[in-house]
Amino acid sequence: MNRPTGPWCLAACAFLACATAGCRSIPSGGEVDVQALGAAPLELRQEFAEGVFTRLPSEESYWFSDIALEGSLDRFVAEFAEAGAERPSAAFLHAQLVWTPEPGKTPLDADATNLVLRLVIVSKGEVGIYGGAAFATPSGGDGEPRSLAIEGGTLTLLEKTAGFHDLLSPARLSGTLTARLDDGAASRWRRALSQFATNALGRPTWVRLPDSSQDRLASR
């Protein structure tokens, strides 16, 4: 397995960015490992500084970022939209836990999936949105941060700006992530990332189903 050395373009730059928020009093964030499976395999590790989640009627919705939460995302969206600004890099992950595994009641084989993934990579003014699925084993909760042990994940590119070079698809994803329960913050992140994706791609791409609590990328 080759590891990237020196600068190499858009997608890798955001994945290799380190977390900027530092240690927090309530642990959240974590990291994922992504292995590109193309002609030039790459193994990348992305750290997240922040993680929040909300419980909805049919799922748990998690949001992770490598930038600090409070106020930073709104500034990031504004800076990206500003013509001529030096646009920052970032990585965002949205994970939807659609069912919780229960021994003897739900499938636990390697092909089972219960986590829907969307990964947003931003680098040098370009954006790529990846989507896929994985199997996650949750732990914690009831007032404590909730963790997801993720395995068997797959990702492929769904949307991109014209200058984004995809060096990942298809890719495998695994890792461990931790989020704190914060309904208000999760709602703010959903709205801000929806606006960011619309600004970057020039069309609405992150939509809310009218008959479900589930967020999804609009199919094209």
User: Could you give the 3-state DSSP secondary structure of residue 64?
Assistant: strand
* Count of structural domains within the chain: 1
Residue at 33 is within a domain: yes
Query: Which pLDDT band, with edges at 50, 70 and 90, does 110 fall under?
Result: low
**Which is it for the CA torsion 60, 66, 72, 73, positive or negative?**
negative
**d(C-alpha 40, C-alpha 99), whole Å:** 35
Q: Say if 16 falls within a structural domain.
A: no
pLDDT of residue 106: 65
Helices and strands of the chain, counted as H and E runs: 3, 11
The pLDDT confidence band at residue 154, using thresholds 50, 70 and 90, is very high
Q: Is the residue at 73 inside a domain?
A: yes
d(Cα 206, Cα 51) in Å, to the nearest integer?
A: 19
Chain length of the chain: 220
Q: Is residue 11 part of a domain?
A: no
> What confidence tens digit (pLDDT) does each residue in 114-140 have?
999 999 998 888 899 999 999 999 998
**What's the confidence (pLDDT) of residue 38?**
78
Q: What is the per-residue pLDDT across 175-208, written as a single tens digit (0 to 9) for each? A: 999 999 999 999 988 888 888 888 888 888 765 4
**Residue 2 falls inside a structural domain:** no
Average pLDDT value for the chain: 77
pTM: 0.78
**For the segment 11-53, what is each residue's pLDDT rounded down to a tens digit?**
333 333 333 333 344 567 899 999 998 777 788 888 998 899 9
In a domain, 208, yes or no: yes
Q: What is the pLDDT of residue 55?
A: 92
Lowest model confidence (mean pLDDT) among 22-31, 86-95, 103-112:
22-31
> Could you tell me if residue 18 is inside a domain?
no
Full domain range(s) for residue 142: 27-217
Q: Has residue 15 been placed in a domain? A: no
Percent of the chain having pLDDT more than 70? 73
Q: In this structure, what token pair is assigned to residue 160?
A: 């991109």
